[in-house]
Amino acid sequence: MTPPRKRLTKKQRALEILARLKQMYPDAVCSLDYETPVQLLVATILSAQCTDERVNKVTPELFRRFPDAAALANADLEDIIERVRSTGFYRNKAKNIQGACRLIMTEFGGQVPQTMEELLKLPGVARKTANVVLAHAFGINAGVTVDTHVKRLTHRLGLTQEEDPVKIERDLMKLLPQPDWENWSIRLIYHGRAVCNARRPLCDRCLFTDLCPSVDRSLLPVVSTSLPIASAMTLEDNFRVSETLSLPPK
């Protein structure tokens, strides 16, 4: 018979999922390439509706030509547009990048601000981008990053019924310890790419079948909860699974 679902409160379920995510993806890190806070800000703006893999192909040349906020603020906008064209929505992204860097230069002394309130003043920056920059550039957990993977899996795991990312973030902040807000998102994104993808979730390979109200129980093995994916999945394992399933890392 298939393993029964555990009867836990929503908070207990969230904490159990968090503990398993840490075991499954212990080496999960931000997959965008950057060296400075402003480079992370730019890369995160470019990642909207674009894979991280594509962004990482674009940014080396972009950052070689424009390494800091001052260079991007004073650049020819058309030059930025041409260099980010392959990321999609390139004209708006280029305008936002330059607008953000100009504001950084004029209002923040050339430094990326380190508060949510200040970051949200920058063109092209909403809470998702601000959370990524604060957490990975400055080690500040100001909120929970909610992208398409986090939204999809949070719904499937029954942790929220909200559709608006800000409201989803608010729900998750109530369920998770603040030090884990950002690593929750990174690890959930990894799981969304490797196992719980949008079109065909691989419930038979998932370690959350006893916690997930959306699981397709017809796909589960009838023996035990010992599933093909090891509980101590490494970063390398994650990408190997993604390649096997023809799911390129995003």
By annotation, the residues acting in catalysis are 128, 147
- The dihedral formed by the CA atoms of 147, 211, 175 and 134, expressed in degrees to the nearest 10: -30
Query: Do 228 and 180 meet the contact criterion of CB atoms below 8 Å apart?
Result: no
Name the residue with tokens 């070689």: 64
Q: How many CA atoms lie within 13 A of 197 on its CB side?
A: 15
Distance CA 16, CA 20 (A): 6
Both tokens of 131, joined, read 């959370």
Distance CA 216, CA 196 (A): 11
Measured between alpha carbons, how far is residue 42 from residues 21, 30, 134 in Å?
A: 28, 14, 13
- The gap from C-alpha 194 to its chain's centroid, in whole angstroms, comes to 14
